[in-house]
Amino acid sequence: MSKPKLKLAKLPDMKPAKITVALPPDLMGDLEIYAQIYEQTYGEKQPVGALIPSMIAGFLASDHGFKKAKRELA
């Protein structure tokens, strides 16, 4: 099986910050599956909580409306 090309790049070394968030079971299940695929792709096991900050950062970076509104606030 070839390794999938994930949108999320391999995580850099970083000190994780803790947050508390309630997720619907289906979303948590998908995040756990993503973490498994991440491990298969990069050979490194990462907890879901370590992947989420990069996922959110990528989402915000790709949201043109957010970037425009953020510039207008500055």
- Is pLDDT of 50 > 80? yes
Residue 5 lies in a domain: no
Residue 56 belongs to domain spanning: 25-73
User: Residue 16 has what pLDDT?
Assistant: 67
Residue 10 lies in a domain: no
pTM exceeds 0.75: no
User: Residue 69 has what pLDDT?
Assistant: 92
Residue 33 lies in a domain: yes
Q: How many other CB atoms are there within 10 angstroms of residue 8's CB atom?
A: 16
Residue 15 lies in a domain: no
Distance CA 24, CA 46 (A): 20
**Torsion sign, CA atoms 16, 23, 29, 5:** negative
Average model confidence (pLDDT) for the chain? 90
Distance CA 35, CA 38 (A): 5
Report the amino acid identity of residue 39: E
Residue 49 lies in a domain: yes
Number of domains in the chain: 1
